[in-house]
Amino acid sequence: MVRTEKVTVSLPKEDLKMIVGYETKLQLTRSAVFKEAIELWLAVREKEELRKSYKAAYSDSNVKDKTINYVEDMLPLALEWWSEY
C-alpha cells in the first residue's frame, strides 16, 4: 500500500473549474487528476535536470573533443558495414 499525505493548495477558481471538467471527462477523482499532473511535472523537471547535466558535460571542450575523436574513429567502421548492403 502506498502511503499518502494530505496537501492543501490554493488555486484560481478558473483553474479549479478546468480541473473539475477533467475529473468528469476522464472519470477520475480529484486526487487522481492532481497525482497525474504532479507525476508529469516531476518527469519534465527530471528531464530538464538531465539536459542541464548533459549540456554541462558536453560544453566541456575536453569531453567534446574526445567525443568528436571517437565518432571520427568509428565512422570508417560504420561506412564499411553499411557498404555491404
Every domain of the chain and the residues it spans: 13-83
The residue count for the chain: 85
Q: Please tell me whether the overall predicted TM-score, pTM, comes out greater than 0.85 for this model.
A: no
- The pLDDT value recorded for residue 79 is 74
Cα–Cα distance list, 79 to 65, 68, 75 (Å): 21, 16, 6
d(CA 42, CA 28): 20
Rounded average pLDDT over 3-22? 94
Rounded average pLDDT over 19-23? 94
- The pLDDT value recorded for residue 83 is 56
Cell numbers describing residue 76? 570508417
